Structure 1
Amino acid sequence: MSGFQIRDAGPADTLALSEALVEAANWNSNRIEPRVNVLSHPVRSRYVAGWPRPGDGGLVAETPEGEVIGAAWYRLMSADRPGFGYVTAGVPELTLGVRPMWRARGVGRALLQGLLRKAAESGHARISLSVEHGNFAQRLYRSEGFTVLSSGETSDVMVRSLN
């Protein structure tokens, strides 16, 4: 881990998580969605609204100067208000976003590994996520033990055991 540090996400990190959500949504540089559209999307907004809620867990990556360069967090969703990677009650959904200039430099992997530990320590048996087809992050998720549970027209729902 060079040039950045990882810390727990707290109540003051709503903006950092929102920015990471925008980065995650805009992984494809050929298809950039405006920030306001990402954050007002009826499903995407569920990932950060009211941060932190009981049961939420998150990490923030930042430079030694305190510049936020990425974040990863999990949140429990419900069947009546699911996220894109919803599996079932009690399985949190993971979101990860890293600023483009920091991608492929170990930030995403460090955030992911730390968040998986945090989720396991919180007593979760599994964790899920949704990743669009073609997103290079899918290789990271596979390398960290995620498998495809279901595949849709544009994305896959992946899960990983935390035991």
Structure 2
Amino acid sequence: MTLREATTDDLDLLYDLLLEAFNWDGTPRFTRDEVVADTHTARYLGGWRRPDDFGLVAVDGTVALGAIWARALPAATPGYGYVADDIPEIGMAVARPDRGRGVGSALLAGCVEQARGLGWRALSLSVEDGNTAARDLYERHGFAVVGRNGGSDTMLREL
């Protein structure tokens, strides 16, 4: 497995993985068409890749295993894990067959380093209640709960 920078050519992959993240427990709560059409989802991926957007894709040869992406959102149109205008919120997913193999950990560690190198002061995210595997991963990488949004916790990692 290697990590490469997420590019504008990865938009379809990122939407597929965002759907995977929304349906993290295997319950098909959303369809891909619903994710693409949703105005809130557009905050995360609409116009990808803006000048401050960044992310990584984990690949095995030419096969994408997962991805992580980040975007700073303004208070006027916050994401689920919004903390501040100058703290990018990350989205991340690993393809179901590739979970439990260290892909998520590699993506998260790479994103933290990428954000640090770009001069960001912190990263935030949102994790749903019950998604203990993701929550445990985030905690191992230094994220801590700083807020609550509906049935999800907002987590922050200072850089």
Give the TM-score category using the shorter length. over 0.9
Deviation per residue, 1:59-112 (Å, 9 max, x gap): 001111x11121101101011111111111100001101110001110011000
Deviation per residue, 1:1-37 (Å, 9 max, x gap): xxx2110111211112111111111101134421111
Partner of 1:89, secondary structure, is: coil
1:125 aligns with 2:121: yes
Query: In structure 2, how many angstroms separate the alpha carbons of the residues matched to 1:88 and 1:147?
Result: 15
The worse-fitting range, judged by mean Cα deviation, of 134-143 and 40-49 is 40-49
| Stretches of structure 1 lacking an aligned partner (at least 5 in a row) | none
Map 1:87-98 onto structure 2 (within 5 A): 87-98=83-94
Map 1:9-158 onto structure 2 (within 5 A): 9-64=6-61, 66-135=62-131, 136-158=133-155
Query: In structure 2, how many angstroms separate the alpha carbons of the residues matched to 1:74 and 1:158?
Result: 14
* Counterpart code for 1:28: D
Identity %: 41
Q: Give the number of equivalent residue pairs.
A: 158
Query: In structure 1, how many angstroms separate the alpha carbons of the residues matched to 2:117 and 2:129?
Result: 30
Q: Is the 8 A contact 2:147 2:155 kept in 1?
A: yes
TM-score of the aligned structures, taking structure 2 as reference length: 0.95
Q: Is the 8 A contact 2:89 2:125 kept in 1?
A: yes
Partner of 2:115, secondary structure, is: helix
Query: In structure 1, how many angstroms separate the alpha carbons of the residues matched to 2:17 and 2:149?
Result: 24
Deviation per residue, 1:138-157 (Å, 9 max, x gap): 11001110000012441000
| Stretches of structure 2 lacking an aligned partner (at least 5 in a row) | none
Partner of 2:39, secondary structure, is: coil
* Counterpart code for 1:72: I
Pairwise CA RMSD: 1.1
